[in-house]
Amino acid sequence: MKQFILPASFDGSSSVLLDEKDTHYLKNVLRVKVGTELKCTAPDGSVWRGIVSRFDDDGCTLELFPAGTAAEKDACGGSQNTQIILYQSLIKGKNMDLIIRQAVEAGVTAVVPVETEYSQIRLKDFKNEKPERWQRIIKEAMQQSGTSIHTAVETMIKVEDMPTVSPDETGLFFHQCPMEKKSIHQHLDGHFKKVFLFVGPEGGLSKKDIEILETKGFKPVYLGENILRAETAALYATAIVKNLILEKETWCSK
């Protein structure tokens, strides 16, 4: 575990009593002992030095000491100033869970599930317990990866409700056919506050979806002739963009 995510109820106190589930995880899974020091991150992004002070029937108590903010700890050039927002067409089964887990590990700021014309399922088919499960997945992925970015899963929307890309943002949609000769480098050649990535379902994007995205200011990107599964395409596209942003100073036009 790279870090421990403090509960949403944490209010900045000097100690916190963990619930039964977190206590079980620390004591029985990680085999943490009294006196063990942990890097802890609060929901607001603040970083704390936590020391396990006791285990008892009520749970586990952590003594907490301020250690700065995630931004201070992870600042690296200008890469931390660019947020990546992943708009992902709804897909079946646990593959959406996998996309969210991988997005957290890759440092995506937010994942927004989107209903497109060829989506395998519709908004009305999504069960109410999924957002709660996604929060558990986010917490697990943050603890495993050590990322300082607390990825949010936003409210599900339809493709026609996508935001319009503003001048200080860029939007890319990944299509199964080559539509434009511009490279991802060229699309990212500039300084943007946000980069919007749109990945369609395994059935691809319809003509209507494409028209809507282009009207919103999104630009097409072709990832090659290999046909990728939706969950593979999401990670592949995110990894490419994340790496280009991290290395921007070495290639961006002056």
DSSP one-letter string for 121-134? S-GGGS-TTHHHHH
Domain final residue, candidates 74, 90, 110: 74
Label residues 6-24 b or e (16+ Cβ within 10 Å = b): beeebeeeeebbbeeebbe
Do residues 21 and 45 both lie within one domain?
Answer: yes
Do residues 17 and 103 both lie within one domain?
Answer: no
Do residues 115 and 197 both lie within one domain?
Answer: yes
- Specify the pLDDT at position 77: 38
Give the other-Cβ count within 10 Å of 143's Cβ: 20
- Specify the pLDDT at position 118: 87
Pairing outcome for strands 83-89 and 194-199: parallel
| Domain extent for 64 | 4-74
Tens digits of residue pLDDT in 94-129 = 888 999 999 999 999 999 999 999 887 777 776 655
Domain final residue, candidates 74, 92, 118: 74
Cα separation, 107 vs 242, in Å, equals 8
Do residues 70 and 84 both lie within one domain?
Answer: no
Q: In what order do the strands lie in the sheet with 4-5?
A: 4-5, 37-41, 46-56, 59-69, 15-18
- Specify the pLDDT at position 129: 55
Domain final residue, candidates 16, 41, 74: 74
Distances in Å between the Cα of 196 and the Cα atoms of 44, 116, 143, 171, 240 are 23, 16, 25, 4, 13
- Specify the pLDDT at position 72: 45
Do residues 88 and 59 both lie within one domain?
Answer: no
- Specify the pLDDT at position 228: 85
- Specify the pLDDT at position 211: 95
> What residues contact residue 175 under an 8 Å CB cut-off, 6+ apart?
200, 204, 205, 210, 220, 221, 222
Pairing outcome for strands 110-115 and 83-89: parallel
Cα separation, 177 vs 73, in Å, equals 41
- Specify the pLDDT at position 248: 79
Which CATH number characterizes residue 184's domain? 3.40.1280.10
> What residues contact residue 217 under an 8 Å CB cut-off, 6+ apart?
164, 165, 171
**Whole-structure pTM value:** 0.82
Do residues 91 and 137 both lie within one domain?
Answer: yes
Do residues 58 and 115 both lie within one domain?
Answer: no
Greatest Cα pair distance in the chain: 63
221 burial (CB, 10 Å; 0-12 / 13-18 / 19+) is: buried
Which CATH number characterizes residue 34's domain? 2.40.240.20
Do residues 114 and 222 both lie within one domain?
Answer: yes
Do residues 58 and 26 both lie within one domain?
Answer: yes
Distances in Å between the Cα of 175 and the Cα atoms of 43, 202, 212 are 35, 11, 14
Do residues 126 and 216 both lie within one domain?
Answer: yes
Do residues 47 and 83 both lie within one domain?
Answer: no
Cα separation, 34 vs 204, in Å, equals 52
- Specify the pLDDT at position 126: 67
- Specify the pLDDT at position 76: 38
Q: Which stretches in the chain have pLDDT values below 50?
A: 72-79
Do residues 86 and 185 both lie within one domain?
Answer: yes
